[in-house]
Structure 1
């Protein structure tokens, strides 16, 4: 099954956000990735429901909302109303993770769970059948432009094995330091969705970068 590319608008020029939305709409990208940060769960503050509502009104593709916030269950319904197609919460921020997953589904959105670099795959053993996406953070959350943590590769493989063993419908998304230099490695490990921020919006030709990310073959044939 082809992999998906989700440009992260956190790296876009917010003075011209309409141009970034149009670029993603017109490109080969599959999803919009929107990072919500509260200044508590992560150090920075980004944007909330109002901005997402404006983006979603113009978005012609899947709107992937990543809540890097404390106690996200309080806001699930409001983000769904704002236009989120999928809502991802952090396992580390949920006291009752299964309940929040249910809330997301009841809101009409797809449910995702994110794991920080230090959080083991085993945390999701008892909910993996209930989630649609698992977001493996390949940097520490809260800042754009960080370097990819290569220890994440074995973790992606472990998650892929858990999904296969439990016959879960979940797909693996990766976020943090993703670019042309490492995208193939994470796809080979089992990732299905590439979140790319700085690699896309920091390039000279964002649409071409998206096209190159889409064109990567996760299973290259070796010729001798």
Structure 2
């Protein structure tokens, strides 16, 4: 997994058909998805329950590229090993999930996995200033975590812009999670984001048996994002 700032579309399987996860992962990759985003929710840190490491391990053989695992759980450290063993390529924990996030990031990197750090909408960009040399990805939540299909929070665009300034030439991705579609994608890529998580904006347009709609949605988001890109 090499670093570059090209636009990457990472459909979230939280919006997929839960009975066909393997086929859904293969379908979105076949239709142009760059990464597969896996939202893990515990019903404690966020008000919803999704799935855990066993599901990640089950879908891993169906994913050819990057499995991007977003842990919306607290506590987090005790569960890292399970998701590493399940095959995560990127493992993202929330800054707000515990008091020792520096140690969490070290543990992820120490296991040979790319370390991500997620920020809730109410958490300022400056909260990561002392952690920039410990992360490979910063995930900006542009909705409140816990459910798909929410409305994009526009105040987060300024946070993305500030993070991009803080990152400088460090090899750190800025990921956007929440409310991404062809309208909002250019707003965040112009500000400096390069990884776009899209759930319902992709999966509502197709099915496993008719995945062409996934491809159209992915292409529309990518085209809109790239048109607004600043380098």
Q: Is the 8 A contact 2:93 2:118 kept in 1?
A: yes
Is there any run of 5+ residues in structure 1 with no aligned partner, and where? none
Partner in structure 2 of residue 208 of structure 1: 216
Say if 2:193 is the partner of 1:191: yes
TM-score (norm 2): 0.91
Deviations 1:158-201 (A, max 9, x none): 1111101xx42211000001011111111001001000001000
Aligned length: 219
Per-residue deviation, 1:73: 1.1
Say if 2:76 is the partner of 1:76: no
Deviations 1:9-58 (A, max 9, x none): 00001122232112122121110000000000000000001111011121
Is there any run of 5+ residues in structure 2 with no aligned partner, and where? 207-212
Per-residue deviation, 1:126: 0.5
Say if 2:150 is the partner of 1:142: no
TM-score (norm 1): 0.94
Per-residue deviation, 1:2: 1.9
Per-residue deviation, 1:220: 4.8
Per-residue deviation, 1:217: 4.9
Q: Is the 8 A contact 1:72 1:94 kept in 2?
A: yes
1:173 to 148, 156, 175: 175
Deviations 1:75-118 (A, max 9, x none): 11110100100100000002111110010011111000000000
Per-residue deviation, 1:219: 5.0
Per-residue deviation, 1:67: 0.1
1:115 to 110, 115, 119: 119
